Amino acid sequence: MNPVPVQQDPPACSVCGEPAVIHQRHAGRYLCGTDLVADLEQRVAGTIASQQQVVPGDCVAVALSGGKDSTALLVMLHRLFGSRDDIRLVAVTVDEGITGYREETVRSAADLVRKLGVEHITVSFGELFGDSLDTFLKGRKAQACTICGILRKKALVAGAKRAGATKLATGHNLDDEAQSVLMNVLRGDLLRLVRDSGRESSGRFIPRIKPLTYVQEKEIATYLMVQGIWEDLPECPYAIHALRREVRSMLSGIEYRHPGTMLRLLENKKIIETAFSGKAGGEAVGRCRECGDPCSGETCQLCQLLHSLGR
């Protein structure tokens, strides 16, 4: 006769002793739902303060896709700044036009801003570029993430400008940032590795801020679940073509076996940025000869892409 398995109680929270909901392997501790929420919100507030990402007088455009990262970002920023008169929050949602996927995430974004009472601006690829992403990708699905990334970046800036924003906040988390570092290394793209879109821009572009940079993806998902904010949404159908998908799987396994790997990747990126800063060969920022947007060459990526798409 097989023995009946004994059900074990969940580990105790390292702070209060209540049942834990997450193991923060990099920190070597367990946290219950209440202490996880407090921990993440304190860490994000610390990141914002230490880097002066948001200052009095700012209008922060929050990129809200409706997915878990952007949802958590808006919830946290609303709790931090929603009651302040000297800081304004505006959610910006981009509808790329992806059938069977974007409808659900746009609805999720709209539901959230209604609950929070946050101003909401929606822009679409059709409005800005004349067609949906689905149309642009006919015969080009292998280039999906590259094409979408360039168009989406421009769309977010367009929405932020409509809001009169001084900062553009995105929901990039620790996993995203570590994956980007590794992808740029694999591509041999040093300039992209050291590029800083959050630097002082002298009015040439809206600086980007990433308050969730030091928060892991699993922490964000658990943060939403314990508060009943989690919504199970479909994955982008074009994600299967992305290099990031492969890098994500590889890096997740390494992080599990060697906790702190993703954080060390970011720390090493900072060392490279510091060493590269002010060196000859740095990327000079000018303006696109066609649209006038900031770029490093004569023509920006967006204009080059639109030409290749026959626009």
- Please check whether residue 244 lies inside any domain of the structure: yes
* Separation of alpha carbons 160 and 147, rounded Å: 20
- In this structure, the answer to whether residues 245 and 120 fall within a common structural domain is yes
Identify whether 233 is part of a domain. Answer: yes
pLDDT tens string, the chain, 311 residues long: the values are: 556 565 577 899 999 999 999 999 989 999 999 999 999 999 999 999 999 999 999 999 999 999 999 999 999 999 999 999 999 999 999 999 999 899 999 999 999 999 999 999 999 999 999 999 999 999 999 899 889 999 999 999 999 999 999 999 999 999 999 999 999 888 877 777 766 555 555 456 899 999 999 999 999 999 999 999 988 888 888 888 788 889 999 999 999 999 999 999 999 988 888 777 655 445 566 788 888 888 777 888 888 898 888 77
- How many structural domains are present in the chain? 2
- The CATH number given to whatever domain includes residue 197 is 3.40.50.620
**Percent helix, strand and coil across the chain, each rounded to 5?**
50, 10, 40
What is the model's pLDDT at position 281?
45
User: What length is written for the chain?
Assistant: 311
Q: Is residue 12 part of a domain?
A: no
3-class DSSP assignment, residue 64? coil
Which residues of 192-247 form beta strands (DSSP E)?
A: 208-209
Q: What is the dihedral of CA 149, 155, 159, 161, to 10 degrees?
A: 100
Same-domain check for residues 191 and 70:
yes
190 in a domain, yes or no? yes
Residue 237 CB neighbour total at 10 angstroms: 14
The pLDDT of residue 4 is 59
Please tell me whether residues 108 and 245 are part of one structural domain: yes
Same domain, 192 and 290: no
Distance CA 307, CA 28 (A): 51
Q: Are residues 294 and 225 in the same domain?
A: no
Q: Would residue 251 count as lying in a domain?
A: yes
Q: What residue numbers bound the domain in which 288 lies? A: 281-311
125 and 226 co-located in one domain: yes
What is the model's pLDDT at position 91?
A: 98
Residues 228 and 310 in one domain: no
173 is a domain residue: yes
Q: Do 189 and 294 fall within a single domain?
A: no
- pLDDT recorded at residue 259: 95
Same domain? For 154 and 258 the reply is yes
Residue 112 lies in a domain: yes
